[in-house]
Amino acid sequence: MKITLDIEDGLFARAQRLAAQRGMTVDALVEEELQHALAAHPEPIPEPAPSAARAPFVLLTFGEGGLTPEAEAKGLHRVILDTYDQAYTPGADIAPPMVHDRGRAP
């Protein structure tokens, strides 16, 4: 399994040196040391509750709406990319809405 860890620079440098001394990768060193740490604590770790026990996700929507004709022609992904800088630049005006209720004039 691939994961991402945030490790302090000095600690990572030490791990790199130790791994090199042992002729192994840092990944192998971390895995080996994690196995040693877990072996030192043999009590069972409770399994997480099965995800089936959680209520299913329900996306709430309101009314009849959708993309504006302009956004529909461009595609939602392109609209998001085109408006991102404008909408999230400090001090800039918010981009015009690209989603509206089709029952009302935009």
Q: Per-residue pLDDT tens for 57-73?
A: 666 666 666 777 777 78
Q: So what's the pLDDT on residue 73?
A: 84
For the chain, the C-alpha Rg in angstroms (whole number) is: 26
* Exposure string for 18-30, b = 16+ CB within 10 A, e = fewer: ebeeeeeeeeebb
What are the beta bridge partners of residue 100? 66
pTM of the model: 0.41
For residue 66, give the DSSP letter: E
- Judge whether 68 and 95 are in contact, CB under 8 Å: no
Q: How confident is the model at residue 30 (pLDDT cuts 50, 70, 90)?
A: very high
Tokens coding 104: 């009302």
